[in-house]
Amino acid sequence: MLFAVVLVVSGALVAGAAWGIYGKLPKRLEGFLVALAGGALLLSVTSELIEPSIQKSSVFHAMLGVAAGAVVFAIADYWIDEKWGSDSGGGLLAAITLDGIPENLALGVALIGAGGLEVAALAGSILLSNLPEAAGGARAMAEGRHSKGKVIALWAGTAALLSAAAIAGNLLLSGVGEGTLAVIRCFAAGAVVASLATEVFPQAFREDSHLAGVATALGVILALVLGHLGGG
């Protein structure tokens, strides 16, 4: 089940990159989809990572993990902007890798002791998030000095790296205590929340300012439906 979920979620990066290079969508529709994915992912990390951590450990562990994840993401994101530039191909790829590692680590950790349906909301939301993010990043790289084949290869490599993060999260952390696991889950959740605030929602608003809020709410509803299906 772990490998099936990871394959689908990480494969969305390659599919999204191909969509960005070879397909065309109106900017407003793309912004709508980005906001939809962001809303789904925001609710999913709250319900699938933070809330279970509070129930199994404590509010303190959850607060510590979320705060640490957000701070580390913010520092790393700032460094990427200064090093590569937020609009460069390398910067986009690095930023999405930075975003994807905690997402996939969280996915692997969430699968510890759980069936596939129990993490349907989180996996589905990450998949929805990966598609438009990869499409935008790959398009920007292809419009620069990179060949289409090289761009696809770079995104395939990124997908492999993020798959390794999910597998490592599942296999290496299965024996740790609930307190440590809670901090790790919430660290990943904090990093994802910070990435949504700095990368995903601003992009959605720039491309579809009028309906970005509606799309975000629809994403929350979609995650609720997925979570309900996963819960029973």
Q: Tell me what the pLDDT averaged over the chain comes to.
A: 81
State the Cα–Cα distance between residues 28 and 174, nearest whole angstrom. 42
pLDDT confidence bin for 214, thresholds 50/70/90: very high
Query: What pLDDT, on a 0 to 100 scale, did the predictor assign at position 182?
Result: 84
Mean pLDDT of all residues in 72-100: 71
Tokens of 222: 């979609």
Please name the residue that has the structure tokens 């999204």.
Answer: 16
State the Cα–Cα distance between residues 130 and 121, nearest whole angstrom. 14
Residue 231 has pLDDT above 60, yes or no: no
Domains: count for the chain: 1
pLDDT confidence bin for 89, thresholds 50/70/90: low
Residue 41 has pLDDT above 70, yes or no: yes
Domain span at 127: 2-231
Residue 84 has pLDDT above 70, yes or no: no
